[in-house]
Structure 1
Amino acid sequence: GIEVGHIFQLGTKYSEAMKASIINEAGKNQTMIMGCYGIGIGRTVAACIEQNFDANGIIWPMPLAPYTVMVTPVNINEPDVMKASEDIYAALQASRVEVILDDRDERAGVKFKDADLIGIPLRVVVGPKNLAQGRVELKIRKTGESRLYETGSIVSEVRKIIDVEMLEAEG
């Protein structure tokens, strides 16, 4: 296991030095007993990753993911693909979704591999073939499942998935 938190019992060493006291139930002055409590954020993240990964990289739980969605244009040099990608990105932002746009001039496979490696929960893939049919692909990192949605409905579909995932995370 990983130690993610710690507790140090300080006793009265520091409270005596600071003359820190309370009035107890009997109405008498009493030196406070102190403790120090902490959580290691880095260790907590490490523990999360240890429980949520596969051969392709991290699988962030949505509540902890740095971004919930990555919009991935297959080819940034195709104006229609970039315009649709930017529109989806802006619409997701307007819908208060934590989203990142991968507008790097890289091959699609490199972008897909990087998205899996860093563990973004949802990836919206905007490619010329699907876009010509008015659709985009949604890839779910946790399950590997891919779904096709109408371009105009992708934001509401993403919101539905996020809402369900967040409800499940709350238990």
Structure 2
Amino acid sequence: GQVFQLGTKYSEKLEATFQDEDGTSKPMIMGCYGIGVTRTVAAVIEQHHDEKGIVWPESVAPFHIHLLSLGTHMPEIVEACDNLAESLAEAGFEVLYDDRDERPGGKFKDADLMGIPWQVSIGKKSLEKGVCEITRRSSGERSEVSIEEAIPFLKDRSNFQ
């Protein structure tokens, strides 16, 4: 943070005064105080990380959900992820949607590095079962949840809403 003692430089020019206990009018003694957003973010990251990367607290995370499409070459996976991304957004979640044409291992590694509180993934095997995999970044706890139940599952377990 920053603190600047301004004294009476500006209060005299602005005629900003107060009355002391004797009733005498005196100029206010001013100060300017601030904290930089970037410093705050750096402090949060310093306190909330592990060997894999950032672990954003839900209260300050840049997104709520990191949605991973694990099969961008398969139209049915793309459609399921697109639909889930839209439903999550309509339910009020901020979604980071990873639809890059990358290997699943790379996507999971990137997701851990970025540290969004919840990771939701859909791949070939999970789609065949009608489920998505939901992982809490802070604990690594994983759950297979039907795609239709993903939103209620996340609402029950997150502090976003």
Same fold at TM > 0.5: yes
Deviations 1:44-69 (A, max 9, x none): 11111111111111011111111110
Structure 2 counterpart SS, 1:64 = coil
Structure 2 counterpart SS, 1:139 = strand
Structure 2 counterpart SS, 1:14 = helix
User: Following superposition of structure 1 onto structure 2, how do residues 7-156 of structure 1 map, counting pairs within 5 Å?
Assistant: 7-24=3-20, 27-156=23-152
TM-score by length of 1: 0.87
Deviations 1:44-101 (A, max 9, x none): 1111111111111101111111111011111111111111111111110000001121
Task: Could you tell me which runs of 5 or more consecutive residues in structure 1 were left unpaired when the two chains were aligned.
Answer: none
**Whole-Å Cα distance in 1 between the matches of residues 132 and 22 of structure 2?**
71
Which amino acid in the other structure matches residue 36 of structure 1?
C
Which amino acid in the other structure matches residue 34 of structure 1?
M
Task: Could you tell me which runs of 5 or more consecutive residues in structure 2 were left unpaired when the two chains were aligned.
Answer: none
Of the three residues 150, 156, 159, the one matched with 1:160 is 156
Structure 2 counterpart SS, 1:105 = coil
What is the RMSD computed on CA atoms of the aligned residues? 1.7
TM-score by length of 2: 0.92
> What displacement does 1:24 show?
4.9
> What displacement does 1:25 show?
5.8
**Whole-Å Cα distance in 1 between the matches of residues 22 and 74 of structure 2?**
79
Q: How many equivalent pairs are there?
A: 161
**Whole-Å Cα distance in 2 between the matches of residues 79 and 65 of structure 1?**
30
**Whole-Å Cα distance in 2 between the matches of residues 86 and 124 of structure 1?**
12
**Whole-Å Cα distance in 2 between the matches of residues 36 and 90 of structure 1?**
44
Which amino acid in the other structure matches residue 110 of structure 1?
G
